[in-house]
Chains A and B, each alone.
Chain A
Amino acid sequence: MDKSCKQPDNKTRSLGTKIFYLFTVFIIVIYVSFSAFFVYYQSQMLKEHLAEEGRQLANLLADNLKLGVFAENDDLLRGPVESILEYDETILVQAFNNEGKQLISLAKKGAQIEQTEMSELEKQRSILESIRIKYAPLQLSGRESMEFWAPVKSGERFTEENLYYEYTVSPPKEYIIGFVRVVLTTSILKASLKQVLINSTFIPSLFIIPGWFIAYYIVIRITRPLKRLTQGVKAIGTDETFVNVQVETKDEIGRLATAFNEMALSLKNRDTENKELEEQLRQAQKMEAVGTLAGGIAHDFNNIISVIRGYGRMLQKNKDFEETTRNYVEQIVSSSNRAAALTRRLLTFGRKQIIDPKPVNINNVILNVETMLKRLVPENVQFILNLSETELIVTADTTHMEQVIMNLVSNSRDAMPEGGNITITTRLIAPEGPVFRPVSIDRDSKYAFISIEDTGTGIDKVIKEKIFDPFFTTKDVGEGSGLGLSIVYGIIKQHQGLVDVESTPGQGTKFNIFLPTNTSQVEDNDHIASILPNGTETILIAEDDEYVRALVSSVLKQNGYKVIEATDGNSAVAEFLANRDKVSLMLIDVFMPKKKGTAVFKEIRETRPDIKAIFISGHSTSHIINQFEFTEKISFLSKPILPDELLHKVRELLDKQ
């Protein structure tokens, strides 16, 4: 037989079953050993009892038969013998005289008397001899019977001396005058032993069987919560909808169930949290990718536009053109202006826009645009400002911040064609607690919180995922560009901030912005003068893009400056060294082949520490800015370069001492 064929089930028995089996085995062992002990004890008791009865009967008979044996008188013998025979167990009673002659022998009717191997006479003689020697009763046990022998003793005969008077020579002498034999059957004993066996088997079972049921019930009660717990664990494992495990008791199992429920809850929470974070990450990655793409395109496009616009402007100034030609030029210039604006917006979103961050109070920024905002919204829209009393100083580009507010407010307005409320709230918050826990935020610093809330249409869940995408719009062609929120996103991101949206379709939308606060003082912005400045100084231009270089060079030359051009970093250094005394200012493209703008500047500053420079870049250049202290000798210009802006910056720097 193959042993491996055994049921593998045995190993997967439940704890309850095991306990129950154990209990059962325990009970059976106890039961059997108790019964065995009890039966054994009882049988010993009964045997001892029978033996005791036999001895007593034999002694009683011996005592009563004194005269009968003495007189060897059948009448005197019969009475006592018959009375002994009346006992249930007695099957044979005999009496013998001292010589071993049988005086009387009465047997119970129908009783079977066991035959011994020894002949009756032989046996009897040896028994009598042993009694004579021991002077005491004797007991023999057969299979079916027990027999008891006792000597019949008589007091000593009187002598002349004590016939008259009572006196004793101690000890009083007795002598054996005969014997009695009482045979008891053990069949009655066996019957009652059988009864004992039955009793000791059935009576305990009367207790054991209910006990069994009780034990079963108890085991079930103990293991039921465990089973539930197991099911709960399985449910979590297989991702079924988890229902709290019922806590029934306050014992260890109950506490386990409670702990388990708590664990399940926190697992669930963590799960949703993880999903949210994942979603956020995905969104951020998407934005990053789109931003990079848009920024890359916009950067190159910007250079092209700069050239178009630059030459367009120059053409505009030419008075020689006739009316139609001038009209064309106007068209070119305005279109290129629009293209430049679009590019700039894309750059802003792509964070390729050069920002000019200064410590500003956000509340002031909002108050500055308030009038404009009110003009933006129709009469049926209520405008509510709910600004914090404390100053919310952030390092930010005011223009960009204004842009953010404007974009959000216009979206809210669009979402409320039938009117409603727009609430702008600001607050200083510490990022603690569950309300606010974006991962990217530094928990040690405080944040300026700006929310723009409306009672408009709200945003559908599917749409919500895409609203920050550039060119995503739900509005009709011409009404929406799809760039509003992309720009907001880009600006806030560039300011190390965070923007998110809460919305309930049909009820309204709330945009939340978090910006890291700054403790510095707020600077007031001066406005740029509107007259185009000019000069005669020599300016070195280091720019790899020949169109941009040509544009900048022609703009400067037109306004009286002398220009030296360099196409890369190395030639820039060479040109500078050649004209070391003539050059008053340098225009350096940050990213150039062979040698980067910063490196060029560092090299040149070693020979001329007082050299003034304007860095040009199409990229966000905060890291470049950080490389140098912003002294009066260094400034910054972002692409696309506008001729007016270029001339202002150049003049401004040259005039500084």
Chain B
Amino acid sequence: MYTKIINTLLFNSALMLLKVLVVLLIILRPSFASAADVVIVQSISIKPYNDVLKGFKDTCKCSVEQIVLSEPSRANLKRKIQKANPDLVLTIGMDAYRKSRAVTSLPVIYTMILAPIKTISNSADTTGVSMVISAEKQLNIIKKVLPDTKEIGLLFDPARSGKFIRRAITAAKTEGIELIAKEVNASKDVPDATMFMKDTIDAFWVIPDLTVITPETFKFMLLCSFQNYIPLISFSDKYVEMGALLSLNIDEYDIGRQAGEMARKFFSGTSLKQIQKVDARNAKITINKTTAEKLGIPIKSETLKNARIIEK
């Protein structure tokens, strides 16, 4: 009698095990057909980029496959994308965008690149969110944080940041600020240009321009800032930690969300051509309290409340 019951039990459990195995196989099987809606190509795996990814995922609610370029195990990018067979590619970082664009003709939403130049604007199936916060927004914040500022100095390479400067000059006027923007064509001209304007400005605004900013030039500008009591306004925490007074940072998670919203529009049938390329819409403030004290610049408690504080 017992043996009968045991036999029945054994048979049932064996059957259950088989079912589980079959389900597992189905789940774990290599994707033969379209496995993900979006392939995300990421230059490197750093927190800001991962934040973008998170924002995107949270907004898009689509299936994604992530490829990190800097990881040693990466295979051929092209094959990987083909294998994933997505409808859309999201790139995080300049490197990721360039390489993806080179290997695929799929629609691409870019993130974490500076104001796109020729390649991007000419490309058909491309749209995205740049790392640039609009000049208007930035100047608005600057005026709020440093209300006494009348003249702001700025160096720019017209080839890189000409467009931004043009908008900024107009925006400054509305804020009652005179923007003294000086063109530099090579990095080695930066020190001279900085020295040239140091006596006439209340603040120095450093924009993400690769010609203007090199490890050496930034150090020089920082030195100038301390020597002449001119606050330095930058675009990343990195420079605040080095001694800049203030930075107006992009909000990476929000950028991810912006990209996610674009993807949703795409999946709902809108062509990427029709989706406007945008700048980062949000700005986070970081303030170096020590620098503020050194330069003798009062910071309103209201500002401090909303800002990330660095004390170095």
- Interface residues in B177-195 (C-beta closer than 8 Å to A): 187-192, 195
Chain A contacts of B93 at CB under 8 A?
A: 160-161
Are A158 and B216 in contact, CB atoms less than 8 angstroms apart? no
Q: Is A76 an interface residue (CB 8 A)?
A: yes
- With the chains together, A71 CA to B188 CA distance in Å? 4
B191 pairs with A71, CB closer than 8 A? yes
Q: Enumerate chain A residues within 8 angstroms of B43, measured Cβ to Cβ.
A: 161
Does B72 sit at the interface, judged by CB under 8 A?
no
Chain B positions 131-147 with a Cβ under 8 Å from a chain A Cβ: 131
Q: Size of chain B's interface in residues, with CB distance under 8 A?
A: 31
Closest to A172 in B: B215
Judging by beta carbons under 8 Å apart, are B220 and A161 in contact? no
| Interface positions of B from 213 to 270, Cβ below 8 Å from A | 213-217, 219-220, 235-236, 238, 241, 250
Complex partner residue of A158 from B46, B95, B189, B213, CB under 8 angstroms: B213
Q: From residue 473 to 506 of chain A, which have CB atoms closer than 8 A to chain B?
A: none
> Which residues on the B side are within 8 Å of A165 (C-beta)?
46, 48, 236, 238
Q: If the complex has contacts A71-B192, A73-B192, are A164 and B219 also in contact, measured as CB distance less than 8 A?
A: no
- Is the Cβ of A154 less than 8 Å from the Cβ of B114? no
> Cβ of B44 < 8 Å from any Cβ of A?
yes
| A158 and B214 contacting across the interface, CB-CB below 8 Å | yes
Residues of A within 8 A of B188 (CB): 70-73
How many residue-residue contacts, CB under 8 A, span A and B? 73
Q: Chain A residues with Cβ under 8 A from B159's Cβ?
A: none
0/1 per residue, A147-167, Cβ < 8 Å to B? 000000011111111011111
CB-defined contacts of B213 to chain A, threshold 8 Å = 158, 163
Please report the C-alpha to C-alpha distance between residue A214 and residue B95 in the assembled complex, in whole angstroms: 87
Q: By the criterion of a CB under 8 Å from any partner CB, how many residues of chain A are at the interface?
A: 21
Given contacts A71-B188, A71-B189, A158-B210, contact A164 B236 (CB under 8 A): yes
| A67 x B236 contact (CB < 8 A) | no
A76 touches B191 (CB 8 A): yes
Task: Tell me whether A66 and B192 are in contact in the complex, defined as CB-CB below 8 angstroms, given that A157-B210, A160-B210, A165-B48 are known contacts.
Answer: no
Cβ contact within 8 Å between B190 and A164: no
Q: Which of chain B's residues have a CB closer than 8 A to the CB of A163? A: 114, 208, 210, 213, 236
Residues A164 and B208 in contact, CB atoms below 8 Å apart: yes
Q: Which residues of A contact B215 (CB under 8 A)?
A: 154-158
Asked if A70 and B187 sit within 8 Å, CB to CB, the answer is yes
Residues of A with C-beta under 8 A to B48: 164-165
Docked Cα-Cα span, A154 to B187, in Å, equals 13
Are A159 and B94 closer than 8 Å at their CB atoms?
Answer: yes
Q: State how many angstroms separate the Cβ of B208 from the closest Cβ of chain A.
A: 6
Which residues on B are within 8 Å of A, measured CB to CB? 43-44, 46, 48, 93-95, 113-114, 131, 187-192, 195, 208, 210, 213-217, 219-220, 235-236, 238, 241, 250
A-B contacts besides A67-B216, A158-B214, 15 pairs, CB < 8 Å: A67-B217, A70-B188, A70-B216, A71-B190, A71-B191, A76-B191, A154-B214, A157-B187, A157-B210, A158-B213, A158-B215, A159-B95, A161-B44, A164-B48, A164-B250
19 contacts between A and B (CB under 8 A): A67-B191, A70-B188, A70-B217, A72-B188, A73-B191, A73-B192, A76-B191, A156-B215, A159-B210, A160-B94, A160-B113, A161-B93, A161-B94, A163-B213, A164-B131, A164-B208, A165-B236, A165-B238, A166-B241
